[in-house]
A and B are shown apart, each in its own frame.
Chain A
């Protein structure tokens, strides 16, 4: 390949879902105590982006949309090896659902002249999985989702993915620019190197792009988001008999009576 590829990896800062608790009296979520962390599937996305750079001449830029505190996850991405990072941050983005979120990321990917955009399969806070196909749809680009394994065909300048599909797998080739959503846990993210870590923490500050910088100021935020939360209710679990039996024989006799064995 003549020109180096531009690889953009999208990352998000989310509340640590293991730490989100529910107030048993009010049923309200307590997210205040949950620390903000890098969305776990995005670690696999960063690893995939860096893997592409190992294969072909490429430059990897991490992009995050969020409040200024999201700088932390960009520094983390730079610490593990991303060449650069950009923060999309603006009050205008507030309340965006997946439609404007994927628009802002799509415009940033265009601005960065991306050949490949890598995302995690979904985020642990909203788990829609809709942003990667949304980015591809906004830009009219190819997409490869639920990707377990990647190949780069440098002769034909194509990206080939092994995708998990219901009941099996498929291999799909796509022409760049292409959006790749990596299935959670499908690779082993590399650790940060010490020098890179020190650089990220002490010297690196990502530039911040506003909605106006991306030319989307009238197309993002709560007002243009097609969906809205109409209400929340706590989930009542199904009532169960909760009978504790002492022996396998007793259990099987009971299940026999129920007609399920």
Chain B
């Protein structure tokens, strides 16, 4: 047990890889700002990497009162052990009350390396955050296949840590004139202490569906034939996504999976094609602005979660939709 009153401030880990900041970090700064204001604390960005002063300044423009910067070649590219040790030392020395980390593979990889030695409470894959009147963090996360939202609290340990699912909060726009302090911190990790080595890192070949404005998602109903769905996605200038069924079958890359075990998306338009609409899938797309369902089964649950539905064979409906989109003329041709 610790004296919880010794701990204050809201920290957000700013995840960057070779200078590229993960979008969820900006989302967390926006949400962290609200939490910090609610409890009257400062919002602190934690930036770890090499040559990251620009990232720290960007964090200030996105709402941080202060940015702590650990700048050293040992931090590029990311590895769990040096990141974890550096962050752990910062937590031990400065005692933050709340620490928010993006629920990316990177964030979920190293959060435990901070929480375990700190004996901190760590809640995984959070989708809602709140503080009660005593300043206690309520970290809500889906449980049991997304049917239930469990509220996780941490009363007697600090910091209160959470990894937060990307895409659930909206990032705020940067304000270039916003002022805040950028503070370099002592780097406590040496290369000789590390127990892992990144041999190669290749990124950029996989789309990030969490940023897409339009998404066409394929489900089990496509039976492995993605052509009509890709054609529709192309005509809509949309990103291709998938339900777990389609990913498990190996038809589509796991990085494009929407749902509880995949990603949360919030596009303007979400077209679910041949997706039955299991609760685990709906959870990942329920924040979409307009949802369209195309399914041959009129009783598929997806229709309950859609603004517009067509009961039709996707192999007929998708090409027709694509054609009409390309022509720019929307003909009321009925599809059985």
Chain A residues with a Cβ under 8 A of chain B: 17, 20, 22, 27, 29, 97-99, 102, 125-130, 133-134, 136-138, 141-146, 160, 163-175, 178, 183-185, 226-235, 237-238, 240-256, 258, 260-261
Contacts and interface: CB of A to CB of B under 8 A. Distances in A.
B124 interface: yes
A255 B204 contact: no
Interface stretch (B44-52, B153-161, B167-175, B183-191): B153-161
Interface in B272-331: 282-283, 286-287, 289-292, 298, 303-311, 317, 320-321, 324-325, 330-331
Interface string B144-165: 1111111111111100000000
A245 B157 CA distance: 54
A128 B125 contact: yes
Contacts of A252: 321, 324-325, 330
B333 A249 contact: yes
A244 B311 contact: yes
Contacts of B214: 260
B268 interface: yes
B308 A248 contact: no
Interface in B74-122: 77, 79-81, 84, 104-106, 108-113, 115-117, 119-122
Interface of B: 22, 77, 79-81, 84, 104-106, 108-113, 115-117, 119-125, 138, 142-157, 195-206, 208, 214, 236, 248, 254-255, 260-261, 268-269, 282-283, 286-287, 289-292, 298, 303-311, 317, 320-321, 324-325, 330-335
A248 B157 contact: no
A175 B196 contact: yes
Contacts of A229: 150-153
Given A167-B208, A227-B123, A255-B290, A261 B283 contact: no
Given A226-B120, A240-B291, A22 B105 contact: no
B110 A133 contact: yes
10 contacts: A97-B121, A130-B124, A163-B105, A168-B201, A173-B199, A174-B197, A242-B306, A243-B307, A246-B332, A248-B321
Contacts of A168: 201-206
A128 B124 contact: yes
Given A133-B113, A170-B200, A243-B308, A232 B282 contact: no
Contacts of B79: 172
Contacts of B261: 127, 184
Given A127-B261, A170-B77, A232-B148, 11 more contacts: A133-B110, A167-B206, A185-B248, A229-B150, A234-B148, A238-B287, A243-B308, A247-B333, A250-B330, A256-B330, A261-B269
A242 B303 contact: yes
A27 B117 CA distance: 37
Contacts of A129: 108, 124-125
Contact of A260 (B289, B311, B324): B289
Given A166-B22, A227-B123, A246-B334, A255 B199 contact: no
Contact of A227 (B148, B154, B248): B154
Contacts of B202: 168-170
B20 to A, nearest CB: 9
B80 A166 contact: no
Which of A98, A143, A173 is packed against the most chain B CB atoms within 10 Å? A143
A166 B201 CA distance: 11
Contact of B203 (A102, A167, A240): A167
A102 B112 contact: yes
B125 A261 contact: no
A102 B124 CA distance: 15
Contact of A230 (B104, B146, B152, B200): B152
